[in-house]
Amino acid sequence: MYVEVNNVTKEYATVRAVDQVSLVAKGGEILALLGPNGAGKSSLVRMMVGLTQPDSGQIVYRSAADQQPLTALPSTAFGYLPEDRGLYQERTVLDNLRYIARLRGVHKTTAEQSIQRWLDRFELTDRASEPMRQLSKGNQQKIQLIATLLHEPQVVMLDEPFSGLDPMNQEFVLSVLNDLRSTGTTVILSAHQMALVERMANKLVLMNKGAVIAQGSLAEVRQQLVQQQRLQVEFTQSVQAEQISILTSVIEAVPLSDTRFELTCDDQLAADKLLMQLQDIAPVAEFSPQRQALHDLYLQAVRAEVNS
Ligand SMILES: Nc1ncnc2c1ncn2[C@@H]1O[C@H](COP(=O)(O)OP(=O)(O)OP(=O)(O)O)[C@@H](O)[C@H]1O
């Protein structure tokens, strides 16, 4: 199933939580919504799952087979992990999961098999008869995730699935999400863990103050965010900084020695073109464009918005 968000805006009393957002998530994709606190991620997820309605714009669900809009959604359409987790603390893990399965209309035998399979996979079988409150935060989070996946939804929407998990469990959840993706499920999640998301999502949507500031594949988002590039160059002979900074694509040339410089460049100019220009100054011994982590690019973009 496709989820298509067309120019959606949502306002609360004093704040525009989602501002003209458009995106598409397809089966077999992991789409990650990223953004600082208050960026509008949860508000968007709540609309995508049908809990609230947009003030303007539309959310359209399409059949994966023929891309026609779906008017009636099957009970297996969504699995939603809300930001405020909501299982019964006094009831056992098993009771909670059976209850959720019943709510989702899963047949009893199928539910029992499915619960066993997921508890095994999450290494929580021996905790099945314990009340939820006895489980650590991370394990409760894993049970919540099982509750979201029990009915094998076509679209899984997860609000901050990695929060409260230690690195090992984050890796574990990441592998579960990758498996879902490989079986054709549409996975939409919100997260703060840029480094994790960078490794699994094939679509990134970076939000700030309700609006999308960049979206696409990792490479596309990089391109949208990168305005400047840092690199180092080592010449075989001494060179003056002014000889380099005079080049139109070079914003700044900081000498590290007589022969070595750190350059800040206009990213529009391809590295190989710049290398040719540097070779015209003096023979180049080493030339190393540095890739900035997405996390840093993203922080720069958010800060630039704050300052503008
Ligand atoms: N029910 C509501 N009533 C009023 N304002 C709301 C409501 N829900 C969200 N907001 C406001 O809308 C904006 C976006 O909030 P939202 O929770 O969608 O952001 P978020 O990106 O999910 O943040 P976080 O990462 O902190 O969970 C915030 O300014 C928030 O205070």
Examine the pLDDT at 185 and tell me if it is beyond 90: yes
* Ligand 1 pocket mutation, candidates 11, 16, 42, criterion most atoms within 8 A of CB: 42
The CA distance from 235 to 254, in Å, is 14
Q: How far is the CA of 73 from the centre of ligand 1 (A)?
A: 27
Task: Specify the CATH number for 227-291; select among 3.30.300, 3.90.320, 3.60.21, 3.30.70.
Answer: 3.30.70
Where in the chain are the domains?
2-224, 227-291
Query: 121-151: per-residue pLDDT in tens?
Result: 999 999 999 999 999 988 999 999 999 999 9
Long-range contacts of 33-38 (CB under 8 A, 24+ apart): 33/188, 33/189, 33/190, 33/191, 33/205, 33/207, 34/190, 34/191, 34/192, 34/194, 34/197, 34/204, 34/205, 34/206, 34/207, 34/298, 35/190, 35/206, 35/207, 35/208, 36/192, 36/208, 36/302, 38/209
What pLDDT sits at residue 65? 83
Kindly report which listed range (184-198, 216-230, 246-260) carries the lowest average pLDDT score: 216-230
Give the ligand 1 atom nearest the CA of 192: 25
What pLDDT sits at residue 307? 60
Q: How far is the CA of 45 from the centre of ligand 1 (A)?
A: 11
What pLDDT sits at residue 306? 61
Examine the pLDDT at 223 and tell me if it is beyond 90: no
- In this prediction the pTM is 0.81
Query: 81-123: per-residue pLDDT in tens?
Result: 887 767 899 999 999 999 999 988 899 999 999 999 999 999 9
What pLDDT sits at residue 45? 94
Neighbours of 282 (CB within 10 A): 16
Q: What's the mean per-residue pLDDT of the chain?
A: 89
Per-residue pLDDT, averaged over 53-72, amounts to 90
Closest CA to 142 of 168, 117, 161: 161
Question: For ligand 1, atom 4, which residue shows the shortest CA distance?
Answer: 12
The single-letter code of the amino acid at 67 is Q
Question: For ligand 1, atom 6, which residue shows the shortest CA distance?
Answer: 12
The CA distance from 247 to 265, in Å, is 10
40 versus 77: the higher-pLDDT residue is: 40
Domain 2-224 = CATH 3.30.70.270: no
What pLDDT sits at residue 268? 62
Query: 262-302: per-residue pLDDT in tens?
Result: 988 876 667 788 899 999 999 999 998 766 777 777 777 77
Q: How far is the CA of 15 from the centre of ligand 1 (A)?
A: 9
Per-residue pLDDT, averaged over 48-58, amounts to 94
Question: For ligand 1, atom 25, which residue shows the shortest CA distance?
Answer: 37
What pLDDT sits at residue 82? 85
* Residue 94 dihedral angles phi and psi, to the nearest 5°: -65, -45
189 versus 192: the higher-pLDDT residue is: 189
What pLDDT sits at residue 308? 58
* Ligand 1 pocket mutation, candidates 9, 11, 41, criterion most atoms within 8 A of CB: 41
ipTM over 0.90: yes
Residues with CB under 6 Å of ligand 1 are: 12, 15, 17, 35, 37-43, 83
Q: How far is the CA of 38 from the centre of ligand 1 (A)?
A: 5
Examine the pLDDT at 164 and tell me if it is beyond 70: yes
Q: How far is the CA of 42 from the centre of ligand 1 (A)?
A: 7
Give the ligand 1 atom nearest the CA of 36: 25
Burial class (CB in 10 A: 0-12, 13-18, 19+), 244: buried
